[in-house]
Amino acid sequence: MDEIKIEETNANPEVEETPVEENPQMETETPNEKTDSPEQYSEREKRYYARMKQAESIAKQARDELGRIKKTSTVVSDIDAILEVQEATRGLSAPEIAELKLRADALKVPLTEARKNENFALWQKAWKEKVEKENVPLPSTAQGNVNREKTLSEMTLDERTELFEKAGLIAKQTLPRPPRR
């Protein structure tokens, strides 16, 4: 394509053209491609440049902090967490597990550490003693049958004789020996 150059000529030579003032901001709105220094920019561009630099520094700080957090925190898979909870609660009843979880949350420690805590061990011992005390069975007929003596109708003849002899109601009888032949 050929470029066509059009020249403007003043058809009325009597009218003098007044030079148009060039806006200095318009010239600097498009930065010079050769240099990229902020000194050549307008005030508006300088503000944008400062905001851009600030955003870059915030992003860099965020990336650094994320890197530190990833390095310091240990990623525990769900299976490992489940196994840890199972290990910590093995052999505990539901109230003991609830107390253990409460203590772990209060101390902000894992369940395994909370279970090793001396205060939890003391609480657990006291709780077990209380449960044992509350669960002492009352004397019942089933338990009484084990220790109960038999009635006379349930005893054999030898048992009745022995019982009466102990009570002194009858004298022990000795039968004469039969003669020898």
Q: What is the DSSP string of 37-70?
A: -GGGS-HHHHHHHHHHHHHHHHHHHHHHHHHHHH
Per-residue pLDDT of the chain (181 residues; tens, 9 = 90+): 556 655 555 555 454 444 444 444 444 455 545 556 656 778 888 899 899 999 999 999 999 998 887 776 555 567 888 888 888 888 888 899 999 999 999 999 988 899 899 999 999 999 999 988 888 776 665 554 555 678 888 888 888 888 888 887 877 667 777 777 7
For the chain, the structural domain boundaries read 38-72, 78-134
Backbone angles phi, psi at 149, to 5 degrees: -80, 155
What is the reported pTM? 0.36
